[in-house]
Structure formats: C-alpha cells, structure tokens
Amino acid sequence: MSGTIFTKIINREIPSDIVYEDDVSLAFKDINPQAPVHLLIIPKKEIATINDIEEGDSELVGHLYWVAGKLARDMGFADDGYRVVMNCGENAGQTVFHIHLHLLAGKPLGWPPYTDRMKKA
Ligand code: 5GP
C-alpha cells in the first residue's frame, strides 16, 4: 500500500491537530468538523478499509475503541454521549482509504446519520 494523507499525518509530513498518540494509534481533529468535537482515530498500521482487517488486527481495532472512550472521558463528554463510526467504501462515503474512527460529540446527533446521496429513480 502506497499510503494516504493519514500516513503523511502520522509521519508529520503535513500538519494536524493531534490530541493523542501511542505506539500503535493516533488521534487528531478532523479538518472539516461535522460536530463541535470531531476527531479521527487511526491505527499507525496502514489498513485500507474494514474489508482489509485481518484476524490478527483484532486487538489493534479494539484499541481504537479504547482510545475513543479514553478521549471521551478525558475531554469531558463521556457522560453526555457521543458517536463513533467507521465508513467503508463508496456507498458509505469513505474518502480516505486508511481505516479511521470518527468520534463525534458536543451536541445531540441526529439518527439516522446519513443523507441519501442517490436520487431515487
Ligand atoms: P471518510 O469520509 O473517509 O470516512 O473520512 C475522512 C475524513 O478525513 C473526513 O471527515 C475529512 O474531513 C478528513 N480529512 C481528509 N483530509 C484530511 C487532512 O488532511 N487532515 C485532517 N485533519 N482531516 C482530513
């Protein structure tokens, strides 16, 4: 895999507003926030989509959720509630092919979370 914009963020080749880092993951503010808090939590390992997660990645992917909960507690919105979502592929609107959790918080979030991008025939 050749790497995406997120590889450049991991390697500090482009700037980002990093809020958490450890040996295997990184969390930073989304450049186009869809809520008062909009963070992206990524593994440092390059995995393109959910379809590419291997059994051996289970602990790593679970770790991303642990980071989400930690950030929610540390940033003070754990009790108010928040949303964690990972898009997969074109129909879900995935634009960066390096898996990432979106962590959205800071306001009541509507459900369902999507607007239908396909016009009905
Ligand atoms: P996706 O649509 O793939 O689920 O989400 C990709 C997210 O990455 C989008 O919410 C988009 O705003 C964010 N994003 C794309 N490029 C950059 C960037 O260069 N920096 C940051 N911080 N976020 C980015």
Number of domains comprising the chain: 1
Reported pTM:
0.95
Q: Which two tokens stand for residue 21?
A: 């880092």
Closest by CA to 37, choosing from 112, 110, 107, is: 107
Residue numbers of the domain that contains 93 = 5-120
The predicted-structure confidence for 91-120, as pLDDT tens digits, reads as follows: 999 999 999 999 999 999 999 887 777 655
The CA distance from 98 to 100, in Å, is: 6
Q: Is any atom of ligand 1 closer than 6 Å to the C-beta of 93? A: yes
Cβ distance 29 to 42 under 8 Å?
no
Report CA-CA distances (Å) from 106 to 71, 77, 78, 83, 113. Answer: 13, 7, 10, 10, 15
Check if 100 is active-site: yes
Atom of ligand 1 nearest to the CA of 96: 3
What's the CATH number where 102 sits? 3.30.428.10
